[in-house]
Structure 1
């Protein structure tokens, strides 16, 4: 065992750590790059020393949102707290190494884990209680709001506290860390204070710890950098031929929608009639994407014959809109690629329905009449961004830059644009996106993320195009340039992305079209950030000068939140339907009953009805994801209706048995009255889906063996 050396901190970091080291529940609020992880290391060290000296439970769990953060923070603790036993637990650690959080509690001092891992073990009962830990640290604790995974853990904690009869002496200490609590997008003082109080109540925090003494503030400033900010408004394209051609195609689809809706007009509600009016004038905007969501919901409600016509129309309109969104921010060739990819997938099944053939003809007519070389207009936003990249990065081999965008598709398009540009290709751009989808759908594996950051640090890639996954927490090399490109969210993201511009004399740009509203939103975020900075001292004064009042108010808020949650649970219980039918959204074919759907690992929904195989086509493939206990996910699932054959999900292999793994987005769910509805999330489906049990597996295995004996 190595010597337990004190974690060394700057004086301002010691100020941040004080109340946490004293054992209080706290939120540590400090700027990006101020060393909050080192502050947490010191709190953890003091806590473990104190608990061990008093011969009490000494076990810390440090919770993060994603895998990359888990390994990064785990490395810091292994270095700073070498005298203690530290291990990282994530989904991949469990699936690849078969190492589970619950199995290592007794032998470890510090467990760094993605929050969902702990939620799963608490839900399954494999970890009985949060009392298994003496300290819980939440990284980026501003997320502990609404339905975030952090709150699932904190609700468990608050239940223990509120149900306790003895002042909850055995509860673990809670520490949260963040660069900004935010004000929930409000510029109103009272709403901003209430937002911060709610997060503190969720965390059961007694103190809000910031750097406040004059000398420490001066020291903190020396370790921070404030980039020069600039908002860049750019005029849209002139003579946009591509947009005109896409609009022509959308208008043709609109005519067919109107014709078929008119035939069924008497059977439709006023709401459905209104929704089925295609707003062609806003195609290629976020508003159109919202209309698509409403449109598909109405498709789920109407009869199968009309749905079979409208759903492919919806798919094509959505593809045209996505291409225009990309065209707005990238090159025309990138937008065309979106359409080409979509139509290739659509044509995998030869069009057997008249509407399918009509839609393909509309696309072909558009591409025949439009040639890329006819549209000589460059994207003015790319021209301006190219000038900025050229000015700040191209001629400085040591300079680095990050461009934040909204979608993976745009990130990929900008990487290609830079690397195909004669002036910019020296930057050798790379992408940095999340792991939430497989690499085949644009996501990145843990290894690819790590390699991307290492190559960025080493200079192989001098600019990375990133989605929001790179905004917070990750230790990214000092940047000379940060650009938010047609994408701003809230005051917290603004603060964190600016924090990436750590190099001296760094620059921060927001680039957007003049009419998009993005720049106005950024200005509002700036006002929200300034408001938070004003409100924090006021809140601290209340917490410290009215400690008893805060204790009472905090408990009252916690009781109110508990009551609200119980009401939601009861409302769902009262609205639960015994049985519902799951039908193909595209053609309306019956696939299975809700009684024949089971849930594996509290996340994956499989069909266990052998008869359903007659209504489905399963294509096996190399698994894209594996888990312990003989579970693998891979392959593709299709509707067996010959004129449909739409993708419905993938394949789950469990104990050498293949099960259809359904994707909820591809289904409509129909009640006993024949009313269909589309759901985005399983938790909103109003029927109970039971867990897949060993008994279910045994029954299915026995049934298969019996059939093999009957039909050798």
Structure 2
């Protein structure tokens, strides 16, 4: 049964055929507008090269690998390939516990499937561990390939494995925005060269730019001016600042403790590293070493981290209050209050000062919720300008405008932070029930974030994420409040209204979120702009539109610039074993911590990784594993 409803393409457009033919002959990075059918070009190429994938691996057959950035895209792209080809498609991401599969299980997966869709990290780990060599891949597709710098999985895969592969696969990159970093118009050509260098490919957009632009998304951009809630309450409703001042007061009381504990940890780590790296710590200094080692281990495993975590939660409350208004602050603080009461954090704090500080904070949060905030809400009932920020009210009114015209089909509201998504969803549902009771059953609102939980919320599983996206596709959910987890690649053809509640951090985010307004007619992309940052934001948006136009119209790249080189001479080379496994410094640290989590049954028993600078501007490090690890000796 088909879980994801998608439009079936039966006839390719001319630019799609042109680019597919080019990709058969050379590595290609295809840069086309959102909604113009880049994935279908990939499908055409998969079918053209399928003679290799139809054979068994044992008979010399190869496999096509399609790499994506998110679980949502694993589901979407695997289903798209399945309905457009007769090939067997597998899908793989971390929540399926694939990191626990052995080599035999993976060999079977590659034998049973001809096209395999992975989140990038899962496939990179496979190749790093030599479970499936790159020379057995005929076509390697990078979706949203502008994520290609530093230690990103895409860049790491190319850097560590592609050049050393004796039978290199064809590379196909797909992007609409070229760069995932902050980008100026003057940097466009240099960035294009960099992406070509990364993928050992040529950047192409096809000769008929007019057709591809016409077939892409074309949302109308709206700027909605909003005033600062923080400045508004300071000048007109000073009593509301009492709630914010209370949170700030708790933070000020926590700060000295947090600073002192941080300094204590640094001191203990320094003393231990000095003994271990400069003295005979297992000989005549063994007693000193043992004492320092015990102190450091106890400190790492202590529960003092609950207070820094509480500090971060309180800082988030201030942010959500100024962003959403008094009622948003009330909902977020009440959620924190409930989460703190249900946790065992207070019982686990060992030192008396920390325990007292934590207990005092809990009591003050109780007072904040039950007395201060509840009282302020009761006093200001009916005063929406105090209960809700200008951004919230403008957002709701704009949604309501489309509802009045019966033109709202699907709507996505992009926010920056997870807790903003959870609280804003509650607020919109409440406003809908209060102001539009007749439409109560019509408009369904849900939020969607990454796997990390907000304050007091359960983690969002891949299964739940897939279910919400399915409901949004089919119209069971009409408004989706989401973080960047669905910003890239999510294809909802009926989505006709997209908001940026917060300013997009870069051009890629601007263009990708704008591209979610997929409806062919009357699609809108609304940017909520804080008046205090209005001029700067408008200048940035104008730059983004100029970059988008230049990409759409096409630009030339000077291939004679010999000065361009993306190699990082300071980057530590990965370690390669005799049997072909490869491991980088970053991945080595990840594996160590993952192993320690297994030792602790899901809770990390932290290793000790200490550093000491030498006289030659280099560093010596020493690794000590937890006491329950079979590796007992320190590793220098």
Tell me which interval the TM-score lies in, with the shorter structure as reference length. 0.7 to 0.9
Distance 1:227 1:257, change over 3 A: closer
**C-alpha distance in 2, partners of 1:477/1:537?**
24
In the alignment, the residues of structure 2 paired with residue 475 and residue 444 of structure 1 have an alpha-carbon distance, to the nearest angstrom, of 21
> Residues 101, 406 of structure 1: CA spacing in aligned structure 2 closer, same or farther, 3 A cutoff?
farther
Q: Is residue 2:416 matched to residue 1:420?
A: no
Does the Cα contact within 8 Å between 1:401 and 1:482 map onto a contact in 2?
yes
Q: Give the Cα–Cα distance (whole angstroms) in 1 for the partners of residues 430 and 514 of structure 2.
A: 28
How far off its partner does 1:7 sit?
Answer: 7.1
1:117 paired residue among 100, 103, 122: 122
The 5 A counterparts of 1:143-222 are 143-160=147-164, 170-182=167-179, 184-187=181-184, 189=186, 191-205=187-201, 207-213=202-208, 217-222=209-214
SS in 2 for 1:606: helix
Which of 505, 518, 522 aligns to 1:502? It is 518
Displacement after TM superposition at 1:518 (Å): 7.2
The count of residues paired between Structure 1 and Structure 2 equals 546
Q: CA deviation at 1:220?
A: 3.0
**Equivalent position SS for 1:501:** coil
The Cα offsets for residues 87-113 of structure 1, whole Å up to 9 and x where unpaired, read as: 223334455996954433344332222
Supply the distance in 2 between the matched residues of 1:324 and 1:211 (Cα, whole angstroms): 49
Among 461, 465, 478, the residue aligned to 2:481: 465
Q: 1:557 aligns with which of 557, 560, 565?
A: 565
The match for 1:138 is 142
Structure 1 position 357, deviation (Å): 3.8
Cα gap change, 1:663 to 1:335, in 2 (>3 Å): farther
Partner of 1:290: none
Deviation at 1:527, TM superposition (A): 0.6
**Structure 2 residue 524 is matched with structure 1 residue 514:** no
Q: For 1:28-39, what aligned pairs fall within 5 Å after superposition?
A: 28-39=30-41
**Structure 2 stretches of 5 or more lacking a match?**
1-8, 268-294, 577-584, 613-618
Partner of 1:103: 108
Q: Which residue of 1 aligns with 2:244?
A: 246
Match of 2:387 in 1: 378
Shift of 1:145: 1.6
Partner of 1:615: none
| Residue 293 (structure 1) aligns with | none
Q: Partners in 2 of 1:386 and 1:136 — Cα distance?
A: 44
Structure 1 residues 43 and 685, CA gap change in structure 2 (3 angstroms): farther
Which whole-Å deviations, capped at 9, do the CAs of 1:686-710 have from their partners, x for residues lacking one? 65477999x949x9xxxxxxxxxxx
TM-score normalised per structure 2:
0.73
Matched, 1:659 2:597: no
Question: After the TM superposition, which of the residue ranges 366-375 and 90-99 deviates more from structure 2?
Answer: 90-99
Query: 1:433 offset after TM fit, Å?
Result: 2.0
* Structure 1, unaligned runs of 5 or more: 1-5, 162-167, 270-300, 571-575, 577-597, 608-651, 653-657, 674-683, 700-712
SS of the residue corresponding to residue 221 of structure 2 reads: strand
Separation in structure 2 between the aligned mates of residue 398 and residue 242 of structure 1, nearest angstrom: 35
Asked whether the equivalents of residues 89 and 113 of structure 1 are also in contact (C-alpha less than 8 Å), the reply is: yes
State the Cα deviation string for residues 360-413 of structure 1 (Å, max 9, x = none). 444345453441213441322221111101001355276221100112211111
Question: What displacement does 1:143 show?
Answer: 0.7
- Give, in angstroms, the shift of residue 519 of structure 1: 7.0
- 1:263-412 paired onto structure 2 within 5 Å: 314-347=308-341, 348=344, 349=346, 353-367=355-369, 368-370=371-373, 371=375, 372-375=377-380, 376=383, 377-379=386-388, 380-393=390-403, 395-396=405-406, 399-412=409-422
**Counterparts of 1:427 and 1:118, CA distance in 2:** 40
Higher RCO structure, 1 or 2 (CA under 8 Å, sep 6+): 2
Q: Does 1:234 align with 2:226?
A: yes
Counterpart residue number, 1:44 = 46
Quote the residue 1:65 is aligned against: 69
Q: Distance in 2 between matches of 1:445 and 1:261?
A: 35
Whether the 8 Å CA contact 1:512–1:519 is kept in 2: the answer is no
1:277 aligns to what?
A: none
Cα shift at 1:450: 2.7
CA contact (8 A) 2:52 2:138 kept: no
Q: Which digits, 9 at most, give the CA deviation of each residue in 1:628-672, with x for residues without a partner?
A: xxxxxxxxxxxxxxxxxxxxxxxx5xxxxx7344459xx796859
Q: Match for 2:21 among 18, 22, 27?
A: 18
Deviations 1:300-359 (A, max 9, x none): x99x99x99997765554333211211123243432343334345545436854333433
Q: Does 1:126 align with 2:121?
A: no
Partner of 1:633: none
* TM-score, structure 1 as length reference: 0.66
Give the stretch that moved more between structures: 433-442 or 171-180. Answer: 433-442
1:243 Cα deviation after fit = 3.3
| 1:604 counterpart residue number | 594
Q: Residue 436 of structure 1: CA displacement?
A: 5.3
Distance 2:95 2:259 in 1: 48
Write out per-residue CA displacement over residues 414-433 of structure 1, whole angstroms, 9 at most, x where no aligned residue. 22122222335441111122
TM-superposed deviation, 1:480: 1.8
Q: Paired residue for 1:27? A: 29
